[in-house]
Each structure stands twice: as C-alpha cells, then as structure tokens.
Amino acid sequence: MKFALVDDIRAQATKGAKAICPNCGSEVIAKCGDVKVHHWAHKSMRNCDPWWENETEWHRAWKNYFPVDWQDRIHYDELTGEKHIADLKTEHGLVIEFQHSFLNAEERGKREDFYKYMVWVVDATRLKKDLTRFIKGKNGFRSYNDKASMFAIDYREDSFPFIWIDSDKPVIFDFKGMEENNDPDLAWRESLFILFPKTNVRESIVAEIKREIFINGVITGSLFKHREKDKKETPLPSPPIQKALGTSVRQSQYILQRGKFVKSSRW
C-alpha cells in the first residue's frame, strides 16, 4: 500500500519506518528496495485486503495525477460491514480502480457491485496483442452523432480485451502506459479511450478523450455523473459527454504542474 498511519498521519513508506495499516490496524513496515515501488507491507500477515495487488510505476503515475487525500481511501459498506481500499476515491464519491494485472470476470463483477459508482482505468500495454487488436479494430470505428471524438462499434471484442467487454462500468483504456511514443502514426496513444457499458443490442459507444481533459474532468466532477439505476449507482457520461470531450471543462482549483495536479495559488 502507498499510505499507512504514522502517529495517526497518512504517510508514504521511507526506509526503516514502521506504521499502522489504516484498514486493519496491524503493524506495517516500509519496503524500500530497488525493484518494486516503495510501499508498506504487513509485518505478520498477508495483505488484509484480498483485492489489493502489488503496485507498478504505472499505478503510482496515475495516482499522482490526483490529490493525495483521494488516494488509497477505505470504502465502507454500512449494510454489510465489508470494506476495501480503493485506489482513488474523489470528493465527489467516484471510485477509480487502476488495473494492470489480469482480473477474471467474477472478481471484476464483485468489485463493481461493491463500489457501484466507479470506473476502471486499464493498462492496455501489458499484453502486446491488446494493442494489436485495438489498432486493427480502430479501423472499424464510425462517427457517432457526427461527433469527432465519439464512435460506434458493432463488435466490442474486435477492439478490446474480452475480460472488459461485459463490464457494467465505463472502462478507460490507456494504450500509452509508461512507454515513450515517438511514432507520429501512433500519436493517438496519447489519448484515452472510454468503452461505455453496452445499452444497445446492435452497437456500443467509445469515446476518445485527451488525458488532461479526463484527469481534470474527474477532479472537477464534470466528466461522470451519478445516477441510481436498478438499485446500483452507475457512473454515466455527463449529459452530454461531448461537452467534457471538447476543448475545455469547468475550471478547477487544481492545475497540472510537472505531471501532477496541485492546488492553484488562486484558491
């Protein structure tokens, strides 16, 4: 985990440090080697949250785009008492899970049912075949409602990994990851691609969005709206999402500075 409690204050791991797990209250120790990203680990037991996975530089890079107070937040179900550490939980209540490793459909469904108001951000560079599939499938994208950044597709599996095509939540694919991209023919990899839950038997909707606009839209709460449907809170594109996919979004108190969002001095 990225944060633990040192004297009741959330802190990142530093060599030789000890702290308390905010989820279970057990002692954790700092792991600050040269291979894995620095993190806290339980001293006498496996991770208390079975949904937790080892973080990569990709995870940390994404988290660092957002305010520290939103990272690694405990999400609690008051009815069942179940709790898990969400990768990111915004002040607007939206949970974002950053997924690098393989996740089976059953596990994905459990997390979606638990968090409800959530979206996924997926590292689509983990398997080379995922990029190859998308490049081929992208040729079949057709304009949706005459919007340059929105597309309709007939067969989701022709463009996206099978595990994600039946997700009940929006899935944001990052085809750039941590890689440098100097190929002008692959400039589109700088963008993110949102696959929305399927609502039409015939076609599905995909949106291309600039990375900075996505991040700013999450921070301001303007990108995904909150709606209760069939007793499940479902994040939906802001009506219309085209507004968020344009050149500007509602002004934020955070500004992008050296790859991270920080509070503007004006606030």
H-assigned helices in the chain:
57-63, 105-115, 128-138, 211-220, 241-244
Average pLDDT of 226-236? 57
Residue 12 tokens read as 């990142």
Are residues 164 and 241 located together in one domain of the fold?
yes
Angle at Cα 45 formed by Cα 75 and Cα 19, nearest 5°?
Answer: 65
In this predicted model, what pLDDT tens digit does every residue of 176-229 receive, in sequence order?
988 887 788 788 999 999 999 987 667 899 999 999 999 999 999 999 877 655
Asked if 24 and 68 sit in the same domain, the reply is no
3-state SS assignment for residue 106: helix
Q: How is residue 163 annotated by DSSP?
A: G
| Residues 137 and 236 placed together within one structural domain of the fold | yes
Do 183 and 230 sit in the same domain of this protein? Answer: yes
C-beta separation of 194 from 96 below 8 A: no
- Note the pLDDT of residue 233: 62
* Per-residue confidence (pLDDT) for residue 259, from 0 to 100: 46
Which of residues 48, 65, 85 is at a domain's end?
A: 48
Amino acid at 109: G
Q: What is the DSSP string of 135-152?
A: HHHHTT-EEETTEEEEEE
Expressed as residue numbers, the domain containing 226 is 51-263
Residues 72 and 197 in one domain: yes
- Do 69 and 33 lie in one domain? The reply is no
Residue whose entry in the numeric block shows the structure tokens 């990108």: 223
Let me know whether 189 and 251 are in one domain. yes
Q: Are residues 90 and 12 in the same domain?
A: no
Q: How confident is the model at residue 264 (pLDDT cuts 50, 70, 90)?
A: low
Asked whether residue 231 carries a pLDDT value surpassing 70, the answer given is no
Asked whether residue 43 falls in the same domain as residue 76, the answer is no
The model's confidence at residue 256, banded by pLDDT at 50, 70 and 90, is very low
| CA distances, 172 to each of 15, 73, 88, 207 (Å) | 34, 20, 14, 9
Alpha-carbon 100 to chain mean position? 10
Q: Tens digit of pLDDT for each residue in 39-50?
A: 777 777 666 778
CA distance 259 to 61: 8
Distance CA 262, CA 256 (A): 6
Identify the pLDDT of residue 195. 96
**Do 28 and 153 belong to one domain?**
no
The closest alpha carbon to 22, from 57, 47, 44, belongs to 47
137 phi and psi, to 5 degrees? Answer: -70, -30
Q: Clarify whether residues 127 and 4 are in a common domain.
A: no
Query: pTM of this prediction?
Result: 0.77
Shared-domain flag, residues 86 and 188: yes
Q: What whole-number distance in Å separates Cα of residue 247 and Cα of residue 198?
A: 26
Instruction: Give yes or no for a contact between 266 and 257, defined as CB atoms under 8 angstroms apart.
Output: no
Count of domains for the chain: 2
CA distance 109 to 73: 20
End-to-end CA distance of the chain: 30
- Tokens 């944060």: give the residue: 3
Residue-wise pLDDT tens digits, 110-163: 999 999 999 999 999 999 999 999 999 999 999 988 787 999 999 999 999 999
pLDDT tens, 62-99? 999 999 999 999 998 989 999 999 999 999 999 999 99
Cα 26 versus chain centre, distance: 27
